[in-house]
Structure 1
Amino acid sequence: MAASPEMRASDGDRERVAAALREHMVEGRLDVDEFNERLEQVYKSRTYGELAVVTSDLPATDLHTLPATTPRPQPRKDPRKDPAKARAELRANWAIWAMASSINWVIWLIVSTTSDGEVYPWPLWVMGPWGVVLLVSTLFGNSAVNKRDN
């Protein structure tokens, strides 16, 4: 049975028209202000005819194929669960640590050779704690993630 313009619209019908308006806004047919105005009209509408007026100048969309509510986004896969990605990330962290440590030691060496007295080996304070954290995560990181997931 085809819906006549005088027939009352349900909440689900209004939600489907609102979803269609969101699609038209995403595609660039409506700006945000116009979308908000039309959305307000949608929720004030009581009949199919009033709903049709809101979308009359937009391309036709099969309102029954649109969901009444917007779907929830799919959860992202945890990168810590993928061993290959975890190893690649760990290698990258070690490479960054090695580069920063090397730069600090070069600076220390230049300062040591150009100064009159001994210079305290301060790069140890940069690479030491950072290296310990990386070492612990290298040794226990993957097993801790696997134990937590089980």
Structure 2
Amino acid sequence: MRASDVDRDRVAAVLREHTAEGRITMDEFNERLEQLYKSKTYGELARLTADLPDVDLRNRPAKISPQPVATRGMHPGMMAAWSAWAAASAINWVIWFIVSLASDDFAYPWPLWVMGPWGAILLVSTIFGRSGKEE
């Protein structure tokens, strides 16, 4: 029996879920996705997920470990961006401090030019960007 685009999209969502859970690698995911969009029948679609357990995309289990209050609802990518900003800012301030000590003079606080624009963009993205929750 012939499969529809909706059927292929449903299998793609299942494959994405298995990739997110670590059952298949990104390379496997890409190979299966390529085969998926070449598939024409239900049998071909079934072979792509035959070695994987069933996934109910509507009733996914809740996460066991609660997130800290400060990051609750923040997208993991945004948390990573803030972490990168904090690390880069700290490194720049340490360099500035060492240069100021070595020159026996108060150096211009140039790390502000690194932190400021990057931090402003992150702040705007955090406030006005999409939340981590799907509606």
Same fold (TM over 0.5): no
TM-score by length of 1: 0.41
Q: Which has the larger radius of gyration?
A: 1
